[in-house]
Chain A
Amino acid sequence: MNVAVCVKQVPDTADPPALDPHDHTLVREGRLIMDDSDSYGVEMGLQLVEAGGGGEVALVSMAPNGETTGLRSALAIGAARAILVSDPVLAGSDALGTAKVLAAAIRRLGPDLVLAGTESTDGYTGTTPVQVAELLGWPSVSFAKHVEISDGLLRVQRQTEAGYDEVTCPLPAVVTVTAGVVEPRYPSFKGIMAAKSKPVEQVTVAELGLDPSEVGSAGARQQVISVEAVDARKAGEIVVDQGDAHERVISFLEQLKIL
């Protein structure tokens, strides 16, 4: 059982996100960390490999520069290796361009299962994993809240707006997992040290056999006209509760004619 997990390295959420004023792409300089929503896929992958009694978890990621900090934290909790597609032409890639790159890297690995988060915390387009599935010609199950494999068949509880569906799916397949599907483990000191020597293969777009015009800002067919701050809501009245704050809530609801 070999699992590939798509991992995105995103700006540290402690730093406010920003757009480049010239080309309106996300600024990805500075420290990059593993997207928190990807830690669930990594943990899920590790558990499925452990339950399957063999195989490994490999990470698949892309970045315009050779940044690997975010990958090391996933290697530290047990992923065996990583492929990082690193190429300056990737700057400004949209979801489809990203999916083409990830699909090409996944073909190199040939895993039984691809796991990804439902959406990234910085771009949150939420389409890339299923685009990867379509590019590979594989089935996909999105929004998984429970995943198990028995007799080579995936059994997934898929969140729906009304509740959840039980879905079966043969391998190979792409599954997107929700936060909370599993509890990600913490890295041990030994794991952190071991991660430093785990292989991170860096490949370029050309080495994957992709045409550079399909990826990066060249492949993104959207022209940004403007970016503006939205009028923020203002903070209103603050009441420190001294045993009577509920009365202020009641009078507020009365003003609104809710009561």
Chain B
Amino acid sequence: MLVARNLTKSYPSGGGILTVLRDVSFVVPEGAFVAIVGPSGSGKTTLLGLLAGLDIPTSGSVSLDGADLGSLTEDARARLRGEKVGFVFQSFQLIPTLSALENVQVPLELRGEAHAGTRARELLQRVGLAARAHHYPTQLSGGEQQRVAIARAFANSPRVLFADEPTGNLDSSTGEPIIALIEELNREAGTTVVLVTHDPGLAARASRVIRLGDGVVVHDSELAA
């Protein structure tokens, strides 16, 4: 489903070159639940960005559901995301000027789907927020915002869900139902989940853990087993 080959990412920084990721490779099969862990600055978020095609690697390649991201234009990658990828962010990243319902509708409407409103309402119902459909993000609590974000992430029935510290801004009592939702979707729809976290408890719930340190894979539970 997701293949990373020799991924390296470096940035020019203060005269020198800062290499954030170095020669990272792994394969994620369909339906897997992978956690990427590591200390701050180990390159977790950069890796996630490359896997989702939000950025392009300095060298190496990413293949998502058979498509080589490096060979696609920016717009083609966007279309691919619209069709096959879902996102959940640490800071929720809802569009502040859109209501909860409108936020969920966006991926559907970008694909030009009819009945986007009906489907979005169903999704909100599923995350338990049908009653707050017309509230703006600032009128929702953190947990509620993240649930809207999850409804949005699943709006296009993605093949892969990328989650960046999805509970990082939430306490454990609001964080738990979020993880439960993600696990449920992974199980029921067979959605591949790639989750970035530094919470060991959360990582323990994944079927596989990839540990990064200083830009390289220092441990992969699958290879170790």
Partners in one complex: no
